[in-house]
Amino acid sequence: MKLAIIKYNGGNVQSVIFALNRLGIEPVLTNNPDELASADKIIFPGVGEAGSCMQSIRESRLDTLIPTLKQPVLGICVGLQLMCNYSEEGNTKGLKIFDTDVKKFNSKELKIPQMGWNTIQTLKSPLFNGVDEKSYVYYVHSYAAELCHNTIATTDYTKPYSAALQKNNFYAVQFHTEKSSKVGGLILKNFIENC
């Protein structure tokens, strides 16, 4: 199986590669459209500011390729946010795969960014096979996708939001699977084996 990771200026790629290596997968890191189109599965990771990450995607002309991909694609963190219609961060137009917007957390009581462990619930996708309701996963973010008909898991921080989204062959999680211990590893394994 050929698994490709989308190469752009979103950070944290090495952690994703290590997590996949632990599952016995040696991924290809590329921004080559032909290599991406021929991969069996694709991961769209990301850490960084949505506007500059989207600019990098556009410069590589991947903004036209990504929404047309037919194989399973998994967005992680900023990858999820860029797959939505719009993000308030950097006033960024997204890839419009998921029909929802990304808004900044607004709270006087809770620290922003949300940084650390939080639970996921209302799980409804093969992505979460064997994952218990209210399992803990690891987050670092100040912006979150609003709830919508593509929501397949939720988390509550300042308000309920989309912890994960799915539409057809596109999956995405706001949390960092690669930093979420056994639960994160199981979700990556499910993406590889069940999606």
The pair of structure tokens assigned to 13 is: 């790629």
- Which of 53, 84, 89, 178 is catalytic? The answer is 178
> For residues 129, 70, 58 and 180, what is the CA-based torsion angle, rounded to 10 degrees?
10
Q: In terms of DSSP bridges, do strands 170-173 and 151-157 run parallel, antiparallel, or are they unpaired?
A: unpaired
List 53, 84, 141, 176, catalytic entry = 176
How far lies 132's CA from each of 87, 99, 160, 165, 182, in Å?
A: 30, 27, 18, 17, 12
Give the separation between CA 106 and CA 190, rounded to whole angstroms.
33
Place of tokens 């394994």: 189
Q: Is the peptide bond before 113 cis (omega within 30 degrees of 0)?
A: yes
DSSP assignments along 51-68, one per residue: HHHHHHHHHTTHHHHGGG
Q: Is 176 a catalytic residue?
A: yes
Task: Name the active-site residue from 53, 77, 84, 195.
Answer: 77
Q: Is 84 considered catalytic here?
A: no
Closest CA relative to residue 52, chosen from 110, 11, 21? 11
- Could you list the active site residues? 77, 176, 178
